[in-house]
Amino acid sequence: MKPFSLFAAALWRFGYLIDSKTRLAQKKGTKFNTPLLGIGSLLAGGAGKTPYTAFLAGKLKTQGISVGILCKNTGDENLWLKKKGFEVFTGNRFELCKKLDGKFDVLISDDGLEDRRLSHAFWICLTWDESAKNLRDIIPYGNCRSLWKDHPEIACVKKCAMEWEKNAKSADIVFYMKPPLNASGEILPQNSKIATITGIARSHRFFEGLQKNYSIAKKIDCPDHFNIQKKIEQALKLGLPVVITEKNASRLSQSVLESRNVFVCELEVKQLCHHRSDNQIHQSDVQKDNPTQVHNVVVAEAWQSPAKPNP
């Protein structure tokens, strides 16, 4: 299996390099007025890009800055962001940048680091200490879509951790799992015996978090973006509370979500500023008709940290 997966990684790598020189190659001569903030990762899913996108978009909106979010038109990220009240646009991100230029104060691209056409973006890369140095790090042999050396455009690297992990104190972004709630707002009591179903990448983190407060009687781990509706309907017959992620909940029917035994666990994002004391940026600091100043405010809000891990 390993030799085959290494061969498959080589094919992926070859396709990626071809794409970066052709379909996704940088388009010269295209200028944009609206600043673009890119949230990317070398990992093939499960890096926390969408929760962090929502976190930044929410902070900017509270300061009176209008935000449009760019997403792929597959998967469930766009549904999840729309349910949180954001203006979301799906499809070709480069074409969307042209279409939406001047219509928002800021655009945020949820993923898309591999798209060279987004060369005007300020790219933030979320990392979980993945290596991303050679072919053995490329999927399906490894966990990454590309390597550090592929991305000189990355302007800011943020180290991520879950709240219970040892490196959480030194991380730039810490993810917290809130107590699961059902549609009636009831909190799932600690130490409850539960079933849990996911359709996300790096689901082990979700299971680890649940195990700290609950007894998992049944665990169903589905592929990323899998619609878990039927799995939940079957699990509810066990008579146990069923705990799912907020992302997976975005694709479920209202009737399933309203079940008293379906509990949704939300993620809370906390950004730790180890090198800045002026973390708060006020609406009065921004002149919206000045794209350069808006860009600088967005970068500051994202907490610029230019240093990158050694490749």
CB atoms near residue 150 (< 10 Å): 20
The angle that helices 49-62 and 291-301 make with each other, rounded to 10 degrees, is 120
CB–CB of 161/171 below 8 Å? yes
Asked whether the predicted pLDDT for residue 290 surpasses 80, the reply is no
Strand arrangement, sheet containing 193-198: 215-221, 193-198, 242-245, 262-265
The pLDDT of residue 63: 83
The pLDDT of residue 1: 54
User: DSSP states of 259-273 as a string?
Assistant: -TTEEEE-EEEEE--
Domain covering 2-9+29-162+270-301, topology: Rossmann fold (3.40.50)
The pLDDT of residue 127: 95
Where, residue-wise, is CATH 3.40.50 in the chain? 2-9+29-162+270-301, 179-265
The pLDDT of residue 247: 93
3-state secondary structure of 221: strand
* Residues 193, 241, 265: CA angle, nearest 5 degrees: 100
Cα distances (Å, whole numbers) of residue 26 to 13, 34, 105, 237 = 19, 18, 23, 52
Q: Where are the beta strands (DSSP E) in the chain?
A: 36-40, 67-71, 87-90, 106-110, 122-127, 154-162, 173-177, 193-198, 215-221, 242-245, 262-265, 267-271
Q: What is the mean pLDDT of the chain?
A: 87
Q: Where are the beta strands (DSSP E) in 128-192?
A: 154-162, 173-177
CB atoms near residue 50 (< 10 Å): 23
Least reliable range by pLDDT among 29-38, 98-107, 233-242: 29-38
* 156 against 297, higher pLDDT: 156
The pLDDT of residue 64: 87
* Residues 166, 170, 173: CA angle, nearest 5 degrees: 95
Instruction: State pLDDT tens for residues 67-124.
Output: 999 998 887 899 999 999 999 999 999 999 999 999 999 999 999 999 999 999 989 9
The pLDDT of residue 28: 84
Instruction: State pLDDT tens for residues 152-185.
Output: 999 888 999 999 999 999 898 999 999 999 999 9
Asked whether the predicted pLDDT for residue 283 surpasses 80, the reply is no
* 273 against 5, higher pLDDT: 5
The pLDDT of residue 302: 53
Asked whether the predicted pLDDT for residue 226 surpasses 70, the reply is yes
Tokens matching residue 75:
């998967």
Looking at residues 136-163, what average pLDDT do you find? Answer: 93
Residues 6+ apart with CB under 8 A from 40: 49, 109, 111, 112, 113, 114, 123, 124, 125, 126, 154
Looking at residues 263-273, what average pLDDT do you find? Answer: 87
Burial of 292 (0-12, 13-18, 19+ CB in 10 A): exposed
Asked whether the predicted pLDDT for residue 306 surpasses 60, the reply is no
Q: Which of 304, 242, 250 shows the shortest CA–CA distance to 275?
A: 304
The pLDDT of residue 295: 52
Percentage of the residues of the chain whose pLDDT score is greater than 90: 75
Looking at residues 3-9, what average pLDDT do you find? Answer: 90
- The amino acid present at 246, given as its one-letter code, is E
Asked whether the predicted pLDDT for residue 150 surpasses 70, the reply is yes
- The amino acid present at 310, given as its one-letter code, is N
Residue found under tokens 């978090």: 209
Looking at residues 128-145, what average pLDDT do you find? Answer: 94
Looking at residues 19-42, what average pLDDT do you find? Answer: 91
CB–CB of 231/205 below 8 Å? no
**In the structure, what pLDDT confidence band is assigned to residue 300 with cuts at 50, 70 and 90?**
low
The pLDDT of residue 293: 47
Percentage of the residues of the chain whose pLDDT score is greater than 70: 87
Q: Which of 83, 77, 157 shows the shortest CA–CA distance to 113?
A: 157
CATH class of 179-265: alpha beta
CB–CB of 68/104 below 8 Å? yes
Strand arrangement, sheet containing 67-71: 87-90, 67-71, 106-110, 36-40, 122-127, 154-162, 173-177, 267-271
The pLDDT of residue 291: 46
The pLDDT of residue 304: 44
Least reliable range by pLDDT among 25-29, 190-194, 219-223: 25-29
